[in-house]
Amino acid sequence: MDRTLSEHEALDRIGALITSTAAVLRPHPRLEPLTLFTVPGRCQASDGGAGRIVVSRAYWLREVPARDNVHVARQVVDEWTRQGHTLVGTGGFESGHPNVSALSRPDGFVLALAWAEGDHLYLAATSPCVRPDRTPAP
């Protein structure tokens, strides 16, 4: 039986996923937390998540000129593929507004690179259902 990650362990994994991706990007971005993504969400019972939560984090990719957005998105696709993650969707490359999504392997975190108004990009990751830190391991 698989052990369910704790909230803290999931946040550590999110940090590793985001920083390992950002580390290979050129131009090298400065990561700026997006506070909108810091509140845990409840899992649905149908997801096997009764009493469990999902945690997310997102970071603006600062110091990336808008003209490099598509180039950066292609680097993200290459890096996630290299790491063995499964690409779920890509779009917006032709318009200069790239969006990329993937599932991390082997643990199923949702990964995203998203374009936002103002020609800015952000990287985000969301956990599968995890135990809140205040809940003991089974």
What pLDDT was estimated at residue 48?
60
Task: Per residue of the chain (138 residues), give pLDDT as tens.
Answer: 357 899 999 999 999 999 999 999 999 999 999 988 788 999 987 666 678 999 999 999 999 999 999 999 999 999 999 999 999 999 999 999 999 999 999 999 999 999 999 999 999 999 999 999 876 555
In the three-class reduction of DSSP (H, G, I as helix; E, B as strand; rest coil), residue 119 is classed as coil
Report pLDDT for 137.
57
Q: How far apart are CA 58 and CA 96, in angstroms?
A: 21
Question: What are the E-state strand segments in 13-135?
Answer: 30-33, 41-42, 53-54, 56-62, 86-91, 99-103, 110-116, 120-126
| CA–CA gap between residue 27 and residue 37 (Å, rounded) | 25
Angle subtended by helix axes 7-23 and 69-82, to nearest 10: 120
Tokens of 24: 């290979």
